[in-house]
Amino acid sequence: MYDAPLRKTDVEANEIKISAKDVQVYYGDNHAIKDVSVELQDKTVTAFIGPSGCGKSTFLRCLNRMNDTIDICRVEGLISLDGEDIYDKRVDPVQLRAKVGMVFQKANPFPKSIYDNVAYGPRIHGLAKNKAELDEIVEKALRRGAIWDEVKDRLHAPGTGLSGGQQQRLCIARAVATEPEVLLMDEPCSALDPIATAQVEELIDELRTKYSVVIVTHSMQQAARVSQKTAFFHLGNLVEYGETSQIFTNPVDSRTESYITGRIG
Amino acid sequence: MPVLWLFLIVLALAAMGFIAGRMRVTTAGGVRPHSLPNYYGWNVAMKVMAPALLALVVWLLVQPILVDRQVTAGLGENAVPEGSTLGLVMSDVRRVADGLDTAVGRGLITSGDADAMSAADSNVRSLLGEAGVALGSDVSPEVLEAAQRYRAMNATGDFWRTAVVLVLAIAGLAWGIAQSHGSFRARNSVETGIRMILLAAASIAILTTIGIVLSLVGNTWHFFQIYPASKFFGSFTWSPSFGGGSELGIWPLLWGTLYISIIALIVAVPIGLFAAVYLSEYAGPRMRAWAKPLLEVLAGIPTIVYGLFALLTVGPILLTVFGRDGLGWMQAGTAVMTAGLVMGIMLIPFVSSLSDDIINAVPQSLRDGSYGLGATQSETIKQVILPAALPGIVGAVLLAASRAIGETMIVVFGAGAAARLSLNPFDAMTTVTAKIVSQLTGDADFASPEALVAFALGMTLFIITLGLNVFALYIVRKYREQYE
Amino acid sequence: MTDATSQGGSRPNARPTTSLTAVGSRTKKRNASEKRFRAYGLAAIGTGLFFLVVLLSAIVSNGSSAFMQTFIEVPVYLDPAKLDKNGNRDPEDIAKVSTFGYSPLIQNAVFEQVQDKGIATEYDDAGDMKALISASAAAQLRDRVIANPDLIGETVDFQILASSRVDGYLKGRVSRDSITQDKNIDAGHLDLVDALREDGTVHKSFNFAFITGADASESRPEQAGLGVSMLGSFFMMLVVLFLALPIGVAASIYLEEFAPQNKFTDFIEVNISNLAAVPSIVFGILGLAAFIQFAHLPQSAPLVGGLTLTLMTLPTIVISTRASLKAVPPSIRDAALGVGASKMQSVFHHVLPLAMPGILTGTIIGLAQALGETAPLLLIGMVGYIATNYPDGVISGFLSPNSAMPAQIYEWAKRADPAYYERAWGGIIILLVFLLVMNVIAIILRRKFERRW
């Protein structure tokens, strides 16, 4: 399965990585996600689109239980990763998040050196036995984050000193350093300029060969450019889910069509 | 004319001015005036009061200094008897002069008598005794003469003070009323005045600092004139004796201060920091709602209470454990450990609420980033939040250290009175603040080095705490800017 | 651009894919460390609260007994032969009889009571009763007679203040062992007290005099009260309130609303933030040098204490007032300016009233801080002075020497007789009640007027 780079066409061949059934999310009294059922495929970029406040980020944060850190948030329904319920009481959210990494809207490098930023995950998960192995992991992650060439001479400079686009790629490198199986991205390009956006998008396409990537985006062009599958959320409902090409050219639901043509949003 | 009367006259003139200014505008008719009528009134009142009262205050401050200087200069060399000082003689002069005033006021003598009186032919002491001013000894001719001169100069001064203040007030009244016509922008004028008052209020902070510095520097200067600075900063012995021949080395006091503060910080920093971490990262809103205010009760308790707690509760408890019946390390209940422990308790809420603020200033995105990588909460705290908050926490600890160094009541009660350089935390030691209290509350002559040394100690304390504060506030501000 | 594709063939399986529910050994270790860390945090809070509980229980257990006092209730015959030799009830003659004339009457009264009750005792002289009776009892009886001369010749029921040793015996502070070296009282007296207590002659009752009374000399702890120094504190707080509040508010308005961005403003700000952290004892030195040495204001006067505490409290009030001014949204100012109000009018008509609850809260908290502050008062002479006289009026309340609550507590704690420790703890309870009330008022103000914009 891992022996050949995938091409865009054989998306159908991929197995289901994450499956969600009848998911409800409440913020206090507010019913934020209603009855969402979706199956996300491995080695695929899935885009979540929809107007602001439609619940796409909330749903994304359910997939690695980041919502656990918010006291008033309650999740119902079944979400499983490789067939295992991630909200099972026996599941350690820490182990889950090691498998399902996340990149955030605003680049959030730790106020440490570039090296320590990337090494943080491998260190806490004990992925390296010694310094040499750790060096190797860090270099590999930075290469995969497409930022190695820019920072290799200043690995010990603070990560907060990089430019916005570099910071975001550093955060992606930091996320892939822990060897996740799924990578969640919450509007990773919303704070970036077009050139940095293009670099990150190119990177996302590369990452697809190894991970299942879920990306929340406001930009429909971006969804069309990077994703193979698209899910359209509206007012907490999953309105439509399917091949990106189909959603954008021939949507089934009238709300999807309205959004894509710019009438709601 | 007494000051109170003068003050009341100025106020009355101001009130008159207010009414006159207001009336002139309201009765003028014609075009609507620029400002509301009250503003015209206030404008006049302000112009009456501001220059007159300012002059009054300045006069009240300056006249005693000038008169004192003149009279002091006039005192002959033989006016100061053996074993006395110029300061004591001058206070005698003032007492005699006040006594004469009282005597004249009660009608015992006439003002002319008072001026003509000489020490040789009248018993000044008994006269003053009748007027209610008890003197320790007979009045010497020099003192009486100086007192008469003092009275004469003050009388002249008082006359001119009244004249100047009244002239200024009346001039202000005339000026203000002349201004009161519809086209004058009275509101702007009054607002400028109010602004000046606000500015003056804000400047009191500067005046206070200047006052602190002057009172410390002046007296410290006196101290170093009668006691060499090299011995103050160079000696390792502190043994004041009011009979003279004291050794006043600061090091034992500094060491005691430092030792107690270190113990206090060893108690307060871990507890305060862990409490802050727990409250800001783990505790739910309900626990925060009761645990945080309860901890802060510790900060609201006056230090005298902690002092008594150290003296009567903690000291005896420590003594039973470490004293002669226990481990035998401790001689008495008052010790560095007692004071340090209690001070540590006092500082817990100080450290915890400062750290809490600082930890809360670490952006949520860093926490999300760490959790998103699968870090546990404690890993996130230890490896991301605390390193990010470190400068701020260092600042908080420095502020706590400055509090510990300046704390007085706990060490007065808890630390003991012996100045010694020892490493045993169960020994009694003393601190800079405790010695300031004991040197200034005794019956020592104010001009002796044993009393004046308190100002040098105060100066040292002020410089150390000021330095710590400036540094700590700088660090904390830099830290906050980083996340804004 | 990267080697991701070139290495893509072999996925580096540093961590083999495992089931989510199977908790690995490393995760177990990490979770254990997580639990430990949490426990440290809880322990820290627990320790802090434990200290609070210990402190408060020490205060209550040591201080509450100060509110009860031992009295001996006996009928006292006011012998006209001793108190009014001329028999004409002339107030001037009666006033000439000193307390020495009254002491024997009281001692006799107690002695008679002992004999009437048939209590067996080794003492056969009324003078031996002196050990049971406070030295101040005679003065109290005398005051009562002078106020009402008609009592002479009658037998009145009188609550005699018991001596501090007797009081201490009833409260458990004094025991037969502890008085073996004591010249003031013998074990026989304690037997007597036991017997008198059984029939109710000696009893404890609420000690109003402790709350309202004056301080007493070192040898009469049973008489000492906090009332006079409470007045001293009251007058000091008046000074602080009427100076610090207007000056603090004016300074804050200037800094928050009018101050230009320049070096001078910065200098003021630096001064304020530093003054807030200057040790309180340094303010005591300032008070001593500026108000007493330089301005020749009277020592020990509440006015001087108030001025010193004002300077100390000002930064606190300025900081909290500025915070409340800042909390008023700019839209309010804009709205006022928009209808043609001047900047000054917008501040005084709109911003200040809206910020007032916050300002008052901050002021109350600053006052509470000043009320409990001791160190500066030591230097301006508010200790070592025995506050026995109530001030005659408002002027003397400000200017005549007095003590203050914390200074009085300090004074008591410094005295040698342990009976004064009880008074000191009791004084702390009263002080804390005041602070509690002030803080509760501040909290209520904040809750009631809290505004969310």
**Which secondary-structure segment (H or E) carries A167?**
helix A164-176
Is C20–A5 a contact, with Cβ atoms under 8 angstroms apart? no
- Contact call for residues C140 and C119 (beta carbons, < 8 A): no
**Which secondary-structure segment (H or E) carries C437?**
helix C419-449
- Contact call for residues C374 and B304 (beta carbons, < 8 A): yes
Is C23–A92 a contact, with Cβ atoms under 8 angstroms apart? yes
Res C305 pLDDT > 80: yes
Please, what are the averages of pLDDT over each run of 10 residues along chain B (484 residues)? 85 91 80 82 90 90 83 72 68 78 75 70 68 68 80 87 92 88 84 91 91 91 88 85 78 93 96 94 88 90 94 90 81 88 95 91 90 90 91 92 93 86 87 90 73 91 92 85 72
Check whether residue B350 and residue B477 sit in a common domain: yes
The number of beta carbons lying within 10 Å of the beta carbon of residue C109 is 24
CA distance C41 to C31: 15
Is C344–B195 a contact, with Cβ atoms under 8 angstroms apart? yes
Domain presence at residue B228: no
CA distance B218 to B38: 47
DSSP state of B313: I
Res C452 pLDDT > 50: yes
Q: What is the CA radius of gyration of chain C?
A: 33
DSSP state of C185: -
* C-alpha dist (Å) from residue A100 to A58, A115, B331, C23: 15, 22, 63, 16
Q: How many residues does chain A have?
A: 265
- The strand pair at C155-161 and C68-77 is best described as antiparallel
CA distance A34 to A235: 9
- List chain A residues with CB under 8 Å of C14: 122, 127-128, 137, 179
Picking from B166, B184, B202, the residue at the C-terminal end of a domain is B184
Q: Mind telling me how many Å the CA of A147 is from chain B's nearest CA?
A: 19
B73 lies within 8 A of chain C by CB: no
Check whether residue B348 and residue B445 sit in a common domain: yes
- Tokens standing for residue C174: 């004094």
A209 lies within 8 A of chain C by CB: yes
Q: If you average pLDDT over residues A36-59, what whole number do you get? A: 90
CA distance C102 to B462: 56
Q: Mind telling me how many Å the CA of B298 is from chain A's nearest CA?
A: 29
- Contact call for residues A47 and A223 (beta carbons, < 8 A): yes
pLDDT single digits (tens) C374-395: 999 988 888 766 667 788 777 8
B377 lies within 8 A of chain C by CB: yes
Domain presence at residue B189: no
Q: If you average pLDDT over residues A212-225, what whole number do you get? A: 90
Domain presence at residue B21: yes
Residue B3: which of B148, B162, B132, B225 has the closest Cα?
Answer: B162
B378 lies within 8 A of chain A by CB: no
Confidence of residue C304 (pLDDT cuts 50, 70, 90): very high
Q: How many residues does chain B have?
A: 484
B178 lies within 8 A of chain A by CB: no
Strand partners, B247: B239
- Tokens standing for residue C34: 């997580």
Torsional sign, CA B436, B440, B443, B445: positive
Domains recognised in chain C with CATH numbers: 69-205 (no CATH), 227-449 (1.10.3720.10)
CB nearest to A2's CB, from C5, C11, C17: C11
The stretches of C149-226 forming alpha helices (DSSP H) are 164-170, 187-198, 208-212
pLDDT single digits (tens) A120-160: 999 888 888 899 999 999 999 998 888 899 999 999 998 88
Q: If you average pLDDT over residues A198-213, what whole number do you get? A: 88
Strands, sheet with C68-77, edge to edge from the N-terminal-most edge strand = C155-161, C68-77, C202-206
Amino acid at C96: K
CA distance A7 to A208: 10
Buried b (16+ CB within 10 A) or exposed e, C302-316: bbbbbbbbbbbbbbb
A95 lies within 8 A of chain B by CB: yes
**Which secondary-structure segment (H or E) carries B86?**
helix B86-105
Q: Mind telling me how many Å the CA of A141 is from chain B's nearest CA?
A: 14
- List chain B residues with CB under 8 Å of C259: 202
Report pLDDT for C241: 94
Confidence of residue C11 (pLDDT cuts 50, 70, 90): very low
Report pLDDT for B442: 67
ipTM value: 0.88
Is B270–C44 a contact, with Cβ atoms under 8 angstroms apart? yes
* C-alpha dist (Å) from residue C254 to B43, B187, B199, B290: 20, 18, 6, 37
The number of beta carbons lying within 10 Å of the beta carbon of residue C349 is 12
pLDDT single digits (tens) C247-291: 999 999 999 999 888 899 989 988 898 898 899 999 999 998 888
Res C191 pLDDT > 60: yes
- The strand pair at A16-27 and A30-41 is best described as antiparallel
- Contact call for residues B202 and C268 (beta carbons, < 8 A): yes
Q: Mind telling me how many Å the CA of C230 is from chain B's nearest CA?
A: 16
* C-alpha dist (Å) from residue B199 to B43, B50, B205: 18, 14, 11
Report pLDDT for B132: 66
Is B201–C379 a contact, with Cβ atoms under 8 angstroms apart? no
Report pLDDT for C400: 82
Residues 6+ away with beta carbon under 8 Å from B8: none
B248 lies within 8 A of chain C by CB: no
B242 lies within 8 A of chain C by CB: no
Report pLDDT for C373: 92
Confidence of residue C417 (pLDDT cuts 50, 70, 90): confident
Domain presence at residue B322: yes
Burial of C219 (0-12, 13-18, 19+ CB in 10 A): middle
Confidence of residue A13 (pLDDT cuts 50, 70, 90): low
CA distance C331 to C133: 72
Picking from B141, B166, B184, the residue at the C-terminal end of a domain is B184
Q: What part of B 397-426 touches C (C-beta under 8 Å)?
A: 399, 402-403, 405-409, 413
Long-range contacts of the stretch A130-139 (C-beta < 8 A, 24+): A137/A177, A137/C14, A138/A177
CA distance A193 to A163: 11
Domain presence at residue B255: yes
Res C78 pLDDT > 70: yes
- List chain A residues with CB under 8 Å of C37: none
Domain presence at residue B193: no
CA distance B425 to B274: 25
Is A88–C31 a contact, with Cβ atoms under 8 angstroms apart? no
Residue B295 belongs to a domain with what CATH number? 1.10.3720.10
How would you write C6-17 as a 3-class SS string?
A: HHCCCCCCCCCC
Cα torsion at C282, C283, C286, C288 (round to 10°)? -100
B466 lies within 8 A of chain C by CB: yes
Rounded to 10 deg, the angle between the C187-198 and C99-116 helix axes is: 70
Confidence of residue C6 (pLDDT cuts 50, 70, 90): very low
Report pLDDT for B21: 87
Fold that domain A14-260 belongs to in CATH: Rossmann fold (3.40.50)
**Which secondary-structure segment (H or E) carries B202?**
helix B186-226
pLDDT single digits (tens) C146-177: 888 888 888 888 888 888 888 888 888 888 88
CB nearest to B205's CB, from C268, C342, C410: C268
CA distance A7 to C140: 107
pLDDT single digits (tens) C337-367: 888 888 888 999 989 998 998 899 999 999 9
- Tokens standing for residue C19: 């089931």
Domain presence at residue B192: no
- Contact call for residues B396 and B476 (beta carbons, < 8 A): yes
Between C183 and B237, name the one with better pLDDT.
B237
Residue C312: which of B458, B212, B452, B353 has the closest Cα?
Answer: B212
- The strand pair at A237-243 and A229-234 is best described as antiparallel
B484 lies within 8 A of chain A by CB: no
- A vs C, Cβ pairs < 8 A, gives 74
Residues 6+ away with beta carbon under 8 Å from C338: none
CB nearest to A178's CB, from B284, B374, B383: B374
Report pLDDT for B121: 59
Between A109 and B326, name the one with better pLDDT.
A109
CA distance B191 to B185: 10
Q: What is the CA radius of gyration of chain B?
A: 32
How would you write A82-101 as a 3-class SS string?
A: CCEECCCCCCCHHHHHHHEE
Strand partners, A214: A46, A184
Rounded to 10 deg, the angle between the C419-449 and C352-372 helix axes is: 170
Question: 3-class DSSP state for residue B143?
Answer: helix
A110 lies within 8 A of chain B by CB: yes
Report pLDDT for C5: 40
B343 lies within 8 A of chain C by CB: no
- List chain A residues with CB under 8 Å of C8: 2, 5, 209-210
Backbone angles phi, psi at B10, to 5 degrees: -60, -45
Q: If you average pLDDT over residues C194-222, what whole number do you get? A: 84
Q: How far is CA C186 from the centre of its chain?
A: 35
Check whether residue B356 and residue B252 sit in a common domain: yes
Q: Mind telling me how many Å the CA of B89 is from chain C's nearest CA?
A: 15
Q: What part of A 35-74 touches B (C-beta under 8 Å)?
A: 64, 66, 69, 71
Total domain count for chain B? 2
- List chain A residues with CB under 8 Å of C25: none
CA distance B150 to B132: 20
Domain presence at residue B197: no
**Domain housing B26:** 3-184
Q: What is the CA radius of gyration of chain A?
A: 18
